[in-house]
């Protein structure tokens, strides 16, 4: 799987973009006075599926944001996948954020877990354990364990992940996508130092979430 170049409009969105454009054109041809809402819908779909290239910091201790959005949690918790104490940092994505997900570190995917679940508001803490989710256990080249979890949201109904155990990921590499509102949780060693605070807006690949000790 290549990092860049890739389409500035995510491939996952092409059917939705094509459908919304077709409907807008059809309504315009039949009833132009009623077409404005359909063109607004088309523009919304286009902006939702945008997927711009981003700069990727290369500090070897840096943990990069896997998603665009807002920081909603920074806390010491129990990692439910690796059964360890961990620093959890959560990024909430609303419908206006880019929804492409990218690897926070260089490393090997050791295992992948998928859990079906509910679709409560992804901004709520219980979404991490109750919603549909897909988790990757990544081990960095220095041996640090990172768990990166895609969590479906209130209107999200599809988590896409393109890697399995054994895959090699580079920091900033695109590995998945979540449609229509969601969050990503990152579990790090407890001695990792956060570089963000609650409420900060972050950008996938280009924002440093934390540093390894």
Q: Residue 205 in contact with residue 62, Cβ under 8 Å?
A: no
User: Is the bond preceding residue 5 a cis peptide, omega within 30 degrees?
Assistant: yes
Q: What is the DSSP letter of 50?
A: B
Question: Using N-to-C axis directions, what is the helix angle for 36-48 and 14-30, rounded to 10°?
Answer: 170
Question: Virtual CA dihedral for 153, 146, 51, 72, nearest 10 degrees?
Answer: 50
Q: Is 182 a residue of the active site?
A: yes
Catalytic residue among 182, 203, 205, 206: 182
Question: Virtual CA dihedral for 37, 155, 51, 46, nearest 10 degrees?
Answer: -10
The DSSP bridge pattern shows strands 145-152 and 133-140 to be antiparallel
Active site residues: 182
């Amino acid at each position: 799987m290549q990092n860049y170049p890739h389409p500035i409009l995510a491939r996952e969105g092409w059917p939705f973009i094509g459908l919304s454009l077709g409907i807008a054109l059809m309504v315009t041809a039949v009833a132009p006075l009623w077409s404005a809402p359909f063109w607004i819908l088309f523009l919304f779909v286009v902006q939702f599926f945008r997927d711009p290239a981003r700069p990727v910091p290369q500090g070897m201790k840096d943990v990069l944001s896997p998603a665009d959005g807002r920081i909603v949690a920074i806390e010491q918790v129990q990692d439910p996948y690796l059964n360890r104490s961990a620093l959890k940092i959560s990024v909430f994505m609303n419908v206006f954020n880019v929804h492409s997900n990218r690897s926070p570190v260089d490393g090997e995917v050791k295992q992948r877990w998928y859990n079906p679940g509910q679709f409560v508001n992804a901004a709520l803490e219980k979404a991490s354990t109750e919603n549909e989710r897909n988790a990757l256990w990544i081990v960095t080249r220095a041996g640090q364990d990172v768990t990166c979890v895609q969590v479906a949201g209130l209107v999200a109904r599809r988590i896409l992940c393109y890697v399995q155990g054994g895959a090699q990921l580079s920091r900033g590499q695109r590995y998945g996508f979540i449609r229509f509102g969601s969050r990503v949780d990152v579990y790090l060693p407890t001695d990792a130092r956060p570089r963000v605070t609650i409420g900060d807006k972050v950008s996938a690949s280009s924002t440093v979430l934390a540093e390894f000790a």
